[in-house]
Amino acid sequence: MNRAETMLMNNPARARLQRAYEVPLLQRLGAELDEADVVEIGCGRGVGTELLLRRMGAAHVTALDLDPAMVQRAQRRLARYATRVDVKLGDACELPLADAAVDAVVDFGVIHHVPAWRDAVAEVARVLRPGGQFVFEEVTRHALQRWSYRTFLEHPEHDRFSAEEFLAELARIGFTLPRPAVTRFFGDFVIGVAVKPSTTRPGPR
Ligand SMILES: C[S@@+](CC[C@H](N)C(=O)[O-])C[C@H]1O[C@@H](n2cnc3c(N)ncnc32)[C@H](O)[C@@H]1O
């Protein structure tokens, strides 16, 4: 993330949005993390991780980020949760977890930062147990093409996804969405809860 986006993310307004809007919406869409073993990819400064533990009832969260400065911030914020949280460096495309290791993977606006975004989605599927949930809030190509995003923020420029393409990739891998995902802000965001089936057999890309 560049300076502008770091300021946007490490900001009380971002925390309020996550707490007051995104978490309740994800719960309405079927996110069920009570007593779950969760991994959060791209945890940033750890506000989302705290919500997963306190508001959504996760038993344990492995919180990962590619940026060492963010990991340090999150470690400071989350120190009080002791053994319920493990905050460390980690790449969404190469998760430091065994196959079928967790009950849920949470993505608060991270995969649109990943150049090989389909690899990140495949990693999510790999580490989830059958029946596990992929809880996502993602930023689409529609947003990334806006003047404001192109001028002030930095994202990979090629092969960004629309809401439909993101959902199609989930379907190709075999995820199902018991409740339809929603788009927000004229299609800038796609938000939903996908479930990994008992067996995944990806279709052709
Ligand atoms: C837009 S911020 C979102 C931060 C936080 N999830 C939130 O909602 O406030 C994206 C975060 O993803 C991290 N990130 C980017 N690419 C990543 C990757 N491949 N693996 C893990 N984290 C990544 C960035 O360092 C940054 O902290």
The answer to whether residue 205 is domain-embedded is no
Q: How many domains does the chain have?
A: 1
Candidates 73, 91, 113, 135: which one to mutate for ligand 1, based on the most atoms within 8 Å of Cβ?
113
What is the CATH classification number for the domain harbouring 26?
3.40.50.150
Q: Is 46 in the pocket of ligand 1 (CB under 6 A)?
A: no
CA distance 198 to 195: 10
Domain that holds residue 72: 3-195
The answer to whether residue 204 is domain-embedded is no
Nearest CA to ligand 1 atom 8: 108
Q: Is 124 in the pocket of ligand 1 (CB under 6 A)?
A: no
Tell me which of 136 and 6 has the higher pLDDT. Answer: 136
pLDDT tens digit sequence for 81-133: 999 999 999 999 999 999 999 999 999 999 999 999 999 999 999 999 999 99
CA distance 186 to 67: 30
The answer to whether residue 57 is domain-embedded is yes
The answer to whether residue 179 is domain-embedded is yes
CA distance 119 to 93: 6
pLDDT tens digit sequence for 145-202: 999 888 888 888 899 999 999 999 999 999 999 999 999 999 999 999 999 988 656 6
The answer to whether residue 73 is domain-embedded is yes
